[in-house]
Amino acid sequence: MSENRRVVVTGIGAVTPVGNNVKETWENLKAGKCGIGSITLFDTEKFKAKLGAEVKNFNPREYLEVNDVLRTDRYAQFAVAAAQQAVEESGIEGTVQPERFSVWFGTGIGGINTFETEHTKLMERGPRRVSSLFVPMMIANMAAGMIAIRHDCRGTAMPAVTACASGSNAIGEAMRLIRHGYADAVITGGSEAAISPSAVAGFVNMQALSTSENPEEASLPFDKRRGGFVIGEGAVALILEEYEHARARGAKIYGEVCGYGSTCDAYHITAPHPEARGGAQAMTDAMAEAGYSENDRVYINAHGTGTPMNDVLETIAIKKAMGEEAARRAYVSSTKSMTGHMLGAAGAIEALVCLYVLNEGVIPPTINLKEQDEECDLNCVPNTAVEADIDLALSNSLGFGGHNACLAFRKV
């Protein structure tokens, strides 16, 4: 197996809180549009957290037949939709052998809405009322499986399930599949649909969610006023392809996935390590693989959740990985200020952002950043997009269980 094959992105699809396709999503992120609002998917009267970043006006019938809609969880519907968009844009189908076409798709939680619905039936109406499709609708690998079935991907078909690092881990592992010769193309990314009563209750009770009822004062990365993240949902899919294969067929190339770091804090199930050792190492590894130099003009899409601990420790991680001076020169923004935290899909939408930053030279802002925390003293691009020519774009994802992932992208 070859170990030095280059990996590029040739298609992107998106279903997000700020748009149901890539163009709408990107234009709204550049414009600083907030996708956060009152949760409508269930009654929040008894809940402390009442805001979410929901996908709006999504019609699964645009991508699935009626029977398939009834047999799939919302998270899988988002994944299938984003993958369909990406495949169509890339023109990859029919150009790669099915045995060399793979899927690696992330989710942090999987079909939690299905679990709630069927568990309620069990408790209220007895075991005979539970759907025969309960298990396949719920399990976290089903988005990857459905994508593989639809697009005849007969190579690896795997989920990445590493909490909030799932989307980034999926993309990184997909890159390695191609780099080391096990696939020529991979449909990858992440999907989540966990705006549900049990998930919101659980996150609230562990004091992770913002309880603000004002969308402009809820998701506040790097701001002194931050008090937790806002739960989001959606999916983004990327087509990763071996560079020579893409070039030979004249594919549009968004950029190269040129570095990947994956580490574990090995410290605590929810809290990051107090010295940010795992996050810093993931960045260091990704930057080294990407051939980072001090002359690179760098953009970092931060994990930037808006929780008090994460934002300070991520700042420390960035400084450790880059050095104090280079860290201050880099542009850093958290698009979670607009999309909320899409959990297992977060790394995927943030990869989309990195690729568009490289292509357009526009950096989306961290909105509602009015009182920047002195401990988060980087260039966090407050409130308004800026123009900047970037050489290297990095995306950080840090998940429960101590999972850390960093992706690095360059122009081709």
Torsion of CA 97, 154, 353, 400, to 10 degrees: -150
User: Model confidence at 4, in pLDDT bands (50, 70, 90)?
Assistant: confident
Q: Has residue 2 got a pLDDT over 80?
A: no
pLDDT at position 3 is 65
Q: Is 341 a catalytic residue?
A: yes
* Contact (Cβ atoms closer than 8 angstroms) between residue 243 and residue 5: yes
Domains and CATH numbers, the chain: 7-248 (3.40.47.10), 260-410 (3.40.47.10)
pLDDT at position 299 is 98
Q: pTM of the prediction? A: 0.98
Rounded to whole angstroms, the Cα distance separating 408 from 283 reads 9
Q: Is 258 a catalytic residue?
A: no
Select which of 34, 164, 258, 354 is catalytic: 164
Select which of 273, 303, 354, 406 is catalytic: 303
pLDDT at position 116 is 98
What does the block give as tokens for 218?
A: 């809820």
pLDDT in tens, 259-281: 999 999 999 999 999 999 999 99
Q: pLDDT above 90 covers what percent of the chain?
A: 99
Label residue 66 exposed, middle or buried (CB < 10 Å: 0-12, 13-18, 19+).
exposed
Q: Is 303 a catalytic residue?
A: yes
Q: Has residue 157 got a pLDDT over 60?
A: yes
Select which of 151, 245, 341, 403 is catalytic: 341
Q: How far apart are the first and last CA of the chain?
A: 24
